Chains A and B, each alone.
Chain A
C-alpha cells in the first residue's frame, strides 16, 4: 500500500528532514549532500526510498536532476489518515447510540 511506504519513508528522521528540505526548496543530490552531514551516496539512498514511496520525483534541468515533492504519496497518506479517523469516530458513535450502558448512565 502506498500510504504504508510513505509512513515508513517518513519515519526515518534523516529522510523526513530531506523531505522537508525538498518541500521548501527543490534540490539536486549534490545540494542536499552539502546541506546535510551525510555522504552523497547516503543521500541518494534516502532519495530512492522517498521516490519509491511517491513522496519525491525527479525533474531534469539540462544535465541536472532536481528533486521535487510529489503529490502522489502525500495524497495517499492524507487519504489514509482521513479515512482512518472517519472510521474510528464512526465506530465510537455507533456504539454510543446503541449501547445501553452508555446511554443509561
Chain B
C-alpha cells in the first residue's frame, strides 16, 4: 500500500519475439517493409478500408496509414532512429497526438536469429488501480511469450 504512494507509475508493457533473420533484415522488415507484414485488415484505423502503411525511415518520420479513399491517418512519429538496433516512436493510432504513448523496438543479434523486443510505455497516467491490475496481467505474460519463443 505504501509503495503506491511512492511509485504511482506503471511499468511498461514488454513483448519479445525471435525471428530467423539478421538484425539488418529484421530492422528493415519492421520499419521500411512494414506494409509487407502488418495485419492492416484487423490492426488499423480503417481496417477493411485500409490500403497500406508507410514507415518514414528517419528521425521525425511518420508512420502513416493510407485508406483506400486516399485519406491518411498518422499513427506516430519517429523519435529515435538508430538502425539496425533500435527505433523509438510515439504511438496514437486513431487518436489525437496529445494522447500519444511511446513504443521502443530493439533488435538484439543472436546466433543466426534476431530477438525483437517491443516496449510500450505511457501507462503512468493510469493510477494506483492500474498498478494492481498490471500485477495481475504480468503473471499471464510468461505463457504468451513462451508460446512465441517456442514456435
Residues of chain A touching chain B, judged by Cβ–Cβ distance below 8 Å, are 7, 10-11, 13, 16, 19-20, 22-24, 68-71, 74-75, 78-79, 81-82, 84-97, 99, 102-103, 105
Q: Which residue of chain A has the shortest Cβ distance to B99 in the bound complex?
A: A11
Q: Which residues of B contact A (CB under 8 A)?
A: 8, 13, 15-22, 24-26, 29-30, 36-39, 42-43, 94-96, 98-99, 116, 118, 120, 125-130, 132-134, 137, 141, 144, 148, 151
Closest-CB distance, A101 to chain B (whole angstroms): 9
Do A11 and B128 touch across chains, with their CB atoms under 8 A apart?
Answer: no
Supposing A19-B127, A92-B30 touch, asked if A87 and B133 sit within 8 A by C-beta, the answer is no
Bound form: Cα–Cα A82–B139 in Å: 13
B111 to chain A, nearest CB (A): 15
Interface centre among B16, B37, B137, B151 (most CB of A within 10 A): B37
9 contacts across the A-B interface (CB closer than 8 A): A74-B129, A78-B130, A82-B137, A85-B15, A85-B120, A92-B30, A93-B19, A94-B37, A103-B20
Contact A93 B39 (CB under 8 A): no
Give Cα distance in the complex from A34 to B134, angstroms. Answer: 31
Question: Are the CB atoms of B133 and A84 closer together than 8 Å?
Answer: no
Q: For residue A97, which residues in chain B have a CB less than 8 angstroms away from its CB?
A: 19-20
Give the chain A neighbours of B120 by CB distance below 8 A.
Answer: 81, 85
* Complex contact A86–B144 (CB within 8 A): yes
Taking A74-B129, A82-B137 as contacts, is the C-beta distance between A92 and B29 under 8 angstroms? yes
Chain A residues, Cβ within 8 Å of B42: 87
Contact between chains at A23 and B118 (CB < 8 Å): no
Contact A24–B133 (Cβ < 8 Å): no
Q: Across the interface, name the chain A residue whose C-beta is closest to B129.
A: A69
Which residue of B has the minimal Cβ distance to A83? B144
Task: Name the A residues within 8 Å of B25 (CB-CB).
Answer: 96, 102-103, 105
Tell me, rounded to whole Å, the shortest Cβ–Cβ distance linking A96 to chain B. Answer: 4
Given A13-B98, A87-B43, residue A92 in contact with residue B17 (CB < 8 A): yes
- Other A-B pairs, 11, CB within 8 Å; known A20-B126, A75-B133: A19-B127, A23-B130, A74-B133, A79-B137, A82-B141, A92-B17, A93-B148, A94-B37, A95-B29, A95-B36, A96-B29
